[in-house]
Chain A
Amino acid sequence: MIEFALSKKQHELKEALQSLGRHVIRPMSLDMDRTKEVPESFLRNFMMMSRGFRSDDIAEFQEGAPRKERDPSKPSEANRTAVIAAEELAWADAAIPLSMPGPGLGAPPVRATGTPEQKKRFLGMFRDMDTGPLKWGAYGLTEPDAGSDVAGIRTSCRKDGAHWVLNGRKCYITNGGRAVWTVIFATVDPSLGRAGHRAFVVEKGTPGFEVGKIEDKMGLRANETAELVLEDCRVPEENLLGGEEAYRSKEGFMTAMKTFDNTRPLVAAMAVGIGRAAYEYARDFVKQNYVLGRPIPRYAAIAEKLAKIGRRLEAARLLVHRATYLADMNIPNAKEASMSKAAAGQAATLACIDAIEVCGAHGTLQAEHALLEKWFRDIKVYDIFEGTGNIQRVVISKRIVSNLKSF
């Protein structure tokens, strides 16, 4: 059936998160931006509170719990539900979903290629956060000289007895400083390209594994972005994701890419959330300042601008729903995932730019209840991280143009 209505559970989740966002998160948003921190007390409360709403589906995303055996006739709604939650949280403050305790971006590669023991060990450790300390996982792929061109990573790994020795630098790692472990991508030999890649779970405190600079960013300031340094870092061989057997083929590289098919729609949903926040702000500003008082000559132009922001965001949101629908149905969705990310990054960035334009000078002021300038700063990176807009178009192109291996 063709249907766009949310299930009752999804609707309740959306309402609850929106209420939390409006009454709790937004009032502390600017403060978090200034202090560059999401209060741990909030995160802890959020985890406790959201338990009621966390179906097993959501728990999978938040805690990285191993996927349960499913009745194939009853497909999961996990991906579809997760993007609804992501949009609402980002609508409140995008740093919140990114700073949520849990394995984060580290979960998909562990889940996709980890051995049963690795999954149990690295994902299982997030289950005691209700009583124990909050924990984060991270994903370390990008390097100073290799971002979108994943095949170009230079962090090296070599086998030495029962250990692997890693050397290199990773940068722009979300929650990298606080992570209890990070999935680090390294190469046995750069000349092998993708076939030379290996993925390791590197735990905090491993000798030779240090946190470098914590970045000072344009936006998303409350979310930590760190540099990670590996100097003769000795990683136990049991931390090689999937074990040596997994790397006989090109699996090593595929691990990195699989992550993105799952996470791009999630990031796209967050972008839509920020864009929607900006749209609603501009809409309400116009409503309060112009339309109900006296119409102004540029009204039609403003109306058109608002309408275009609104429909671009809706178009992006539907690509997100489409990509996650396919994921839930276990249908390959790389093209659709990239489409959602490309469209959302662009639509939401334009939404923030145009929303400020609509509000005029007011739009640029920084104040407790005027977060438009903050969203403008927050949104830009959504057209950059998890693959830039151009990279998404490379992914899409390869799936619509015949025999296109590379440009």
Chain B
Amino acid sequence: MIAFEPTEDQRLMQDAVAEFAKATLLPRTRELEHARGVSEDIRRTAHEMGLGLVSVPEAAGGQGQGLVTTVLIEEELGAADAAAAFGLAGPGAFGRAVIELGGPERAAELLAGFAEEGGWDRFGAVAWSEPAPCRTHEGFATKAERTDEGYRITGKKAFVGNAALADRFVVFAQVEPERGWGGIGAFVVRRDNAGIRVGERHKTLGLDAASFGEVVLEGAVVRDADRLLGDGGEEGFTRAALRFFVKHALVVAARAVGLSRFAFELAREHCDTRVAFGKPIGHFQAVAFTLADRAMDVETSRWLVWKAAAAWDAGQSERDALLASARAAAHAFEATMRTADDCVQLFGGSGFIRDLVAEKLMRDAKQLMLAAPTAEQLDQLASAIELGQKLDPALVLPTPDTQAIFT
């Protein structure tokens, strides 16, 4: 039956996270931005609440919750500080990648450390993008060469979230250059592995509290067992990678819903109180209709994200869940940009000044749109599914050839 009511348990978690976000993240959003990171005390509190472990399997010490619960919580974080949501400790994208690409047993093993003491300072990362598209062949320039016991990885990855903080990575590299995007592989590389180092941290437009940077691989040697094979074979690997990216996009989209809500509420409050020509500016139709359209953006984004999350949790066909997720995330990303842009616009000049958070929301919104497969990539994916095309990795994965993304 169609219903829009979180369960009692979900409601309790949502309320607790909302309270944390409002009391702890919101007042310190500029502080975190300037520090370019989330402070230790906040990360400790979040870890105690189990925030980074909601969707981590119970076998690995997590809460084993589904995506619906996850998106409810991520919206609350995004509604206070979307940047902090990327910068809290935990496995994050790494966790989602190893669950999809490594399977439950491997995931339990790789995620074990995050629930333990000290987990507040433990990060994982996914190294996917590269500084530039590869010019010699389709696929990645970073290569994974076969050795007797495993692989030797060499190359440079870029736009990696929490690169400098992570103690374990999923690194994507080219195994068979002649097979293009069909010849890529995923490898777990630990920070203490020889031959991996963190490169430069990127200076970015927004999401400053989260860090993005380069990861350099100089002949890092990994074992056979460190290769994550997804569902097996080229097609199975692509499918698992696609699931990872799409679910990751959905989580980022939930943060976008939160950011949209924040920007909308901020704009609405301003339009209620700012008086011009003798009345609140919200009483002018052009302003009120803009608010009405953005209110629709917030609601549609939220329901699309919920529906996609519910599709995964309810075990609907992978095709339907992928399609719902691609639509949801593409819409939520575009909607959050419109909402944050209109927020600044409705504030006028003051929206442009850093005394107010509006300008930060606009920068964060744009940055966030690139922190997962983009709306353009998701639209291509949705159409490929709808047109019954073979899900060619070059078409459906967020390759640097089409548009580089942050992970």
Which chain A residues have a beta carbon within 8 Å of chain B's beta carbons? 1-7, 77, 80, 283, 286-287, 291, 300, 302-304, 306-308, 310-312, 314-316, 318-319, 321-322, 324-325, 336, 339, 342-343, 390, 392-394, 396-397, 400-404, 407
Q: Which A-chain residue is minimally distant from B327 (CB atoms)?
A: A311
Contact of A322 among B282, B293, B303, B389 (CB under 8 A): B303
Q: Nearest Cβ in chain A — how far from B150, in angstroms?
A: 38
Interface mask (B290-333 → A, CB under 8 Å = 1, otherwise 0): 01110110011001101101110010100000001011101100
B3 near A401 with CB under 8 A, answer no
A7 near B1 with CB under 8 A, answer yes
Known pairs A283-B386, A390-B289, A400-B295 / 16 extra A-B pairs, C-beta < 8 Å: A1-B5, A2-B5, A3-B3, A4-B310, A283-B387, A303-B379, A306-B386, A307-B326, A321-B2, A339-B295, A339-B296, A343-B296, A393-B288, A396-B292, A400-B268, A400-B291
B285 at the interface (CB under 8 A from A): yes
Residues of chain B within 8 A (CB-CB) of A407 are 283-285, 288
Residues of chain A within 8 A (CB-CB) of B389 are 291
B272 near A402 with CB under 8 A, answer yes
B89 at the interface (CB under 8 A from A): no
Residues of chain B within 8 A (CB-CB) of A396 are 292, 295-296
Contact of B282 among A283, A291, A339, A401 (CB under 8 A): A401
Report the Cα distance A325→B268, complex, angstroms: 26
Contact of A307 among B283, B309, B324, B382 (CB under 8 A): B382
Residues of chain A within 8 A (CB-CB) of B311 are 4
Rank and list the top 7 A-B pairs by shortest CB-CB distance, nearest first. A307-B379, A303-B383, A397-B288, A315-B300, A318-B303, A401-B282, A311-B327
Q: Nearest Cβ in chain A — how far from B395, in angstroms?
A: 9
Residues of chain A within 8 A (CB-CB) of B379 are 303-304, 307-308, 311
B39 at the interface (CB under 8 A from A): no
Report the Cα distance A6→B289, complex, angstroms: 33
B131 at the interface (CB under 8 A from A): no
A3 near B1 with CB under 8 A, answer yes
Contact of B280 among A6, A300, A325, A402 (CB under 8 A): A402
Given contacts A291-B389, A303-B383, A307-B382, contact A2 B306 (CB under 8 A): yes
Residues of chain B within 8 A (CB-CB) of A2 are 3-7, 10, 68, 306, 309-310
Q: Which B-chain residue is minimally distant from A395 (CB atoms)?
A: B292
Given contacts A2-B5, A3-B1, A307-B330, contact A287 B387 (CB under 8 A): yes
Residues of chain B within 8 A (CB-CB) of A312 are 331
B278 at the interface (CB under 8 A from A): no
Q: Nearest Cβ in chain B — how far from A389, in angstroms?
A: 10
Given contacts A311-B331, A319-B296, A407-B284, contact A303 B291 (CB under 8 A): no
B224 at the interface (CB under 8 A from A): no
Give the total number of A-B pairs whose CB atoms are below 8 A apart: 156
Report the Cα distance A363→B44, complex, angstroms: 60
Report the Cα distance A390→B286, complex, angstroms: 11
B376 at the interface (CB under 8 A from A): yes
A397 near B310 with CB under 8 A, answer no
Interface mask (B344-381 → A, CB under 8 Å = 1, otherwise 0): 00000000000000000000000000000000101110
B249 at the interface (CB under 8 A from A): no
B296 near A342 with CB under 8 A, answer yes
A5 near B272 with CB under 8 A, answer no
Interface bin, chain B: 35 or more
Report the Cα distance A7→B2, complex, angstroms: 8
Residues of chain A within 8 A (CB-CB) of B378 are 307
Query: Which of B10, B310, B316 neighbours the largest number of chain A CB atoms within 10 Å of its CB?
Result: B310
Residues of chain A within 8 A (CB-CB) of B266 are none
B384 at the interface (CB under 8 A from A): yes
Report the Cα distance A321→B4, complex, angstroms: 9
A interface SS class: helix
Q: Which B-chain residue is minimally distant from A407 (CB atoms)?
A: B285
B271 at the interface (CB under 8 A from A): yes
B293 near A77 with CB under 8 A, answer no
Given contacts A303-B387, A402-B272, A407-B284, contact A311 B295 (CB under 8 A): no
Q: Nearest Cβ in chain A — how far from B374, in angstroms?
A: 11
Q: Which A-chain residue is minimally distant from B300 (CB atoms)?
A: A315
Q: Which B-chain residue is minimally distant from A83 (CB atoms)?
A: B2
A3 near B282 with CB under 8 A, answer no
Query: Which of B4, B7, B328 neighbours the largest number of chain A CB atoms within 10 Å of its CB?
Result: B4
Q: Nearest Cβ in chain B — how far from A354, in angstroms?
A: 13
Q: Nearest Cβ in chain B — how far from A296, in angstroms?
A: 13
Residues of chain B within 8 A (CB-CB) of A342 are 292, 296
Contact of A4 among B2, B7, B292 (CB under 8 A): B2
Q: Which A-chain residue is minimally distant from B287 (CB atoms)?
A: A401
Show 24 residue pairs from A and B whose CB-CB distance is below 8 angstroms, ordered by the A residue.
A3-B314, A4-B2, A4-B311, A6-B1, A7-B1, A77-B1, A283-B387, A302-B383, A304-B379, A310-B327, A318-B300, A318-B307, A319-B299, A324-B2, A339-B296, A342-B296, A392-B292, A396-B295, A396-B296, A397-B282, A400-B268, A401-B271, A401-B291, A404-B282
Contact of B2 among A315, A325, A404 (CB under 8 A): A325
Residues of chain B within 8 A (CB-CB) of A310 are 327, 382-383, 386
Residues of chain B within 8 A (CB-CB) of A404 are 282-283, 288
Report the Cα distance A339→B292, complex, angstroms: 8
Contact of A397 among B7, B292, B306 (CB under 8 A): B292
Among residues 188 to 217 in chain B, which have CB atoms less than 8 Å away from a CB atom of chain A? none
Report the Cα distance A394→B289, complex, angstroms: 7
A397 near B303 with CB under 8 A, answer no
Residues of chain A within 8 A (CB-CB) of B380 are 300, 303-304, 307
B288 near A315 with CB under 8 A, answer no
Query: Which of B4, B307, B311, B383 neighbours the largest number of chain A CB atoms within 10 Å of its CB?
Result: B383
Residues of chain A within 8 A (CB-CB) of B268 are 400-401
A314 near B291 with CB under 8 A, answer no
B118 at the interface (CB under 8 A from A): no
Interface mask (B219-236 → A, CB under 8 Å = 1, otherwise 0): 000000000000000000
Report the Cα distance A311→B323, complex, angstroms: 10
B383 near A6 with CB under 8 A, answer no
Report the Cα distance A308→B331, complex, angstroms: 9
Report the Cα distance A315→B307, complex, angstroms: 10
B330 near A311 with CB under 8 A, answer yes
Residues of chain A within 8 A (CB-CB) of B5 are 1-2
Q: Which A-chain residue is minimally distant from B313 (CB atoms)?
A: A2
Q: Which B-chain residue is minimally distant from A405 (CB atoms)?
A: B283
Residues of chain B within 8 A (CB-CB) of A322 are 4, 299, 303
Q: Nearest Cβ in chain B — how far from A282, in angstroms?
A: 10
Report the Cα distance A124→B78, complex, angstroms: 53
Residues of chain B within 8 A (CB-CB) of A307 are 326-327, 330, 378-380, 382-383, 386
Residues of chain A within 8 A (CB-CB) of B383 are 302-304, 306-307, 310
Report the Cα distance A102→B288, complex, angstroms: 38
Q: Nearest Cβ in chain B — how far from A5, in angstroms?
A: 6
Residues of chain B within 8 A (CB-CB) of A3 are 1-3, 310, 314
Residues of chain A within 8 A (CB-CB) of B296 are 319, 339, 342-343, 396
B330 near A6 with CB under 8 A, answer no
